[in-house]
Amino acid sequence: MTPTEWPLLSAVRNAGTDDPVFQALLLAGPVVIVLIVLLGRSPISTVLAGGYLAVLVANTIRNVL
Amino acid sequence: MRGATATISRDVGRILEALGGVVLASILVTLVWGEFYAIPAMVVAGGLPLATGAALRRRFGDADPPGKLHGMMVAAMGWLAVAVFGSLPFILIAWTIAIDPAGLGAPDLTGRAASTVAAFQNPLNALFESMSGFTGTGLTMTDNEAALPRTLQWWRTIIEWVGGVGVIVLTTAILARPGSGSLTLYESEARSEKIHPSIVSTVRTIWWIFILFTFASILVLWLAGMPIWGAINHAMTGLATGGFSITDNSIATYDSALIDFALIPVMTLGSIAFPIHYLMLSGDLENVYTDLQTRWLFGFFGLGSVLLTAIVYVRGTYDSLFAAVRYGLFQFVSAMSCTGFQTAVSATNVALGRWPMGAQLTVAFGMVLGGAAGSTAGGIKLIRLATLLKGIRFRIVDVFYPETAVRRLRINNRRLTETEASQEFTEAAIIALLWLLFLIAGVAGLLAVLPAGAYTLENIIFEVASAQGNVGLSAGITGPESLPTLGKVLFLFNMWIGRLEIIPVLVLLRVGFKRGGLY
């Protein structure tokens, strides 16, 4: 079984988005939120949250261009 | 009709099974917060719809596939059924805390916390809360949301979130009708593609967009300064344009301009049609711009916010222009997106119910109008307003053309034939008329059941428009004690028909009355 065939990953892959960045963001979202819960409001968690949003915006802009 | 009963029963059964799964999955939150006393209540609350749903699905497993009539009846029946079964966590947890059977270690609540939770011992209050959640309304029987057990805070949030996805699926994939906006998106000549060719893949796409936006909204609110538990709950209810809060004074509790402004894009995302989000994320901005509903949404947000700001500033409700902009912008977007988050409360500034009459009616106008069809917003919807205005203009201008002239009504880049135009105009007119008739009936009903002189007429119009538009802003009438029993029943009906755009409920009632020999 390859990593892309793991149940969670294959569910995301089949969820309707063909964009690998959005797929990665869907998988990373819960992880980022759990890290925020664990770390609290810290520079690391702030960078993680800001980075997540930056990737989302940047990928949308990239799709437009 | 027996065949229809089987089809509807099977599909409602499936919906109940899904509801049971959501309740049981929510036990994870109960465990995380250590509210172990609530576990038996949640197991029973999840097991009942699961067992009922499974029994219905098995009993009617070989029923015919659903048609258009079935779709409407399943939607109406399904929303009612999930509201009824969704009230179980409220009732069972409230009673667990009240009597603490088997020494489960339930908290010993006092004061407002005790009365807040105790309100859900009354099944009508619990049903009201559940219907308000699943319809994305946000009117509440809770006196102090912060005092609720975390399990119930979460349950209020998840039912609004699930209800939000449900209504998008309903309007874009299942009940797409001429004039509903959804069919408009599918059939548009100017549009490069449908979301996806099948209902299943469309629903999957809606899910991933909704989940992605939920994560983004949580992080935006957290970065704006909201604690993570608040960010999770408010992002979910904000994106679903539901408006339930976990704090006593909704968003005003945080008293942060940054959080207020951070919620504006969250509520806006929820009120844009989800097929448009798909285009946007795919990089197809041209079709996003040409979508009439999206353009009108931003236009109305801008004009309404400016008007509301001007009224509250000129009339002296707020001393500074910044405060007027902050509260005017937030409350108009909250109203027209049908979210119902409130920043104008007496604890921090001036309560909505004490705003000038013109300001209250401007907010009520936004609530009646609502956002885009195909979004989580309620109200009449922008596509219907556009269809009505353009249709009226078309009919008037028609007089000036010769009888032999072939004319097409142009709506949202589509050129409709006479027959198509007539069909869409009639649909929009019927729904708008029914919406107003039920609004008037609701106002009359509320006037009859409320104590004479207790509330102004604009307060009552505001509250009924809020319930029927699935908004949730309150002029102070809704509450476990302040709203009489008949008023609660009336609002249950208003919220139900408002969410389903009236016609599916009337179809269900007609069939029910006919079978009961009353019609």
pLDDT tens-place string over residues B35-89: 999 999 999 999 999 999 999 999 998 888 877 778 888 889 999 999 999 999 9
Torsion of CA B420, B423, B425, B427, to 10 degrees: -140
- Give phi and psi for B473, each to the nearest 5: -70, 145
Question: Residue A4: inside a domain, yes or no?
Answer: no
pTM attached to this predicted model: 0.90
Q: What is the DSSP letter of B461?
A: H
Hey, are the CB atoms on B207 and A15 less than 8 Å from each other?
yes
Q: Which of B201, B216, B281 lies closest to A63 in CB terms?
A: B281
What's the pLDDT band for B274 if we cut at 50, 70, 90?
Answer: confident
Average pLDDT rounded to a whole number, residues B166-175 = 72
Q: Looking at the 3D structure of chain A, how many domains does it have?
A: 1
Q: How close, in Å, is residue A4 to chain B by CA atoms?
A: 18
ipTM: 0.90
In a domain, A57, yes or no: yes
In a domain, A59, yes or no: yes
Residue A10 lies in a domain: no
Contact between residue B77 and residue B186 where contact means Cβ atoms under 8 Å apart? no
Among A17, A29, A63, beta carbon nearest to B283: A63
- C-alpha distances in angstroms, B386 versus A65, B76, B176, B180, B241? 31, 26, 17, 11, 22
Using CA coordinates, name the residue in chain B closest to A18. B282
pLDDT tens digits, B182-220: 433 333 333 333 444 566 777 788 888 999 999 999 999
Contact of B224 with chain A, judged by CB distance below 8 Å, is answered with: no
Question: Residue B100: is its pLDDT beyond 60?
Answer: yes
> B411 - beta bridge partners?
B414
Rounded-to-integer distance, Cα B6 and Cα A65, Å: 51
Q: Name the minimum distance, in Å, from the CA of A2 to any CA of chain B.
A: 23
Which residues in chain B are closer than 8 Å to A18, comparing Cβ atoms? none
Q: What percent of chain B has pLDDT over 70?
A: 93
- The 10s digit of each residue's pLDDT in B107-124 is 888 888 999 999 999 999
- Three-state SS for B110? coil
Instruction: Answer whether residue A37 is part of any domain.
Output: yes
Task: Give per-residue pLDDT as tens, B289-300.
Answer: 888 889 999 999
Measured between CB atoms, does B198 come within 8 Å of chain A? no
- Confirm whether A46 is domain-assigned: yes
Residue B159 pLDDT level (bands cut at 50, 70, 90): very high
Domain-located, residue A55: yes
Cross-chain CB nearest to A32 (options B196, B219, B232): B219
* H or E element at residue B300: helix B292-314
Q: Which of chain B's residues have a Cβ under 8 Å away from the Cβ of A17?
A: 205, 208
Place of tokens 């407002």: B112
Contact B281 A64 (CB under 8 A): no
Average pLDDT, chain B: 88
- Tell me the residue range of the domain where A25 lies: 17-64
Cβ contact B120:B91 at 8 Å:
yes
Cα(B488)–Cα(B401) distance, rounded to whole angstroms? 52
Amino acid at B91: I
Within a domain: A35: yes
Listed in sequence order, the residues at least 6 apart from B152 whose beta carbon sits closer than 8 Å to its beta carbon are B89, B90, B93, B117, B120
